[in-house]
Each structure stands twice: as structure tokens, then as C-alpha cells.
Amino acid sequence: MLIFNDTTDPRISNLPPPYQAPVLSAIRTLLEITGQKTPRKDQGFVAFIDAEDTPESLTPAFVRPLASIERAFRNGSCLVGVILWGNSGAGVTVVCPDEDGYAPEVARILKQHL
């Protein structure tokens, strides 16, 4: 998993082009919610899922289990899910490529919440 909270993070340009726009969109939304140029990690972050990630491996960073997703949707070639930590809007936006065999357990949970 890669964690992002800034649109100028150079690692975004290392992502395959179809995944860059969903990640950037999620970061911009996070910035709008927090009202800051770079939110602190405890205010939320965008998590780009790696192919080998599992729901269990993500839980420590997400604070809550992946199955606690509030909402999921598609953005281009990615599945996107939102996990809120409370009522303030802080939480995690999960961005997972929607490709066969890519983080299959994570994708399955996201698809269940579409």
C-alpha cells in the first residue's frame, strides 16, 4: 500500500497512468474536507492498494477493518472506498485498481459495497 496526502507527491507519477487520476481526485477531496494543504495522517489519507495487499494487512493502517467501508464507487479503472473514523470526516480513501487478480480480497470487499 502507498499512502498519499499531497497532490505533489512524486510517487503519483510512478503509478500507471490510468490510476493517477483516481488517486489525485481522492487527494483533492481529502484536501477540501480538511481545509489544509497537507493533512496530518490522523486527519485522513489516500491509500493506493498494492497487488499483494489483503484486508488483514491493511487494518493496522486503516484503524478499522476494510469491511467497515461507508461507501464504494468506481472512478475510471479503479474501485474507490471510504472508511470514516468518526463524524468529523477524517478517514481513509481506498483506491484499488479493478483488474483481474489484483488484490482480489480487497477488490471483492469494495465490489460488495458498490
- 91 in helix, strand or coil? strand
Give the per-residue pLDDT at 89.
67
Using CA atoms, how far residue 76 sits from 3, 16, 42, 58, 61, in Å, is 20, 13, 28, 23, 25
> How far, in Å, CA of 100 to CA of 98, rounded?
7
pLDDT tens digits for 30-78? 888 877 776 667 788 999 999 999 999 999 999 899 999 999 999 999 9
- Asked if 71 and 113 count as a contact pair (C-beta separation under 8 A), the reply is yes
Give the per-residue pLDDT at 32.
87
- Asked if 38 and 88 count as a contact pair (C-beta separation under 8 A), the reply is no
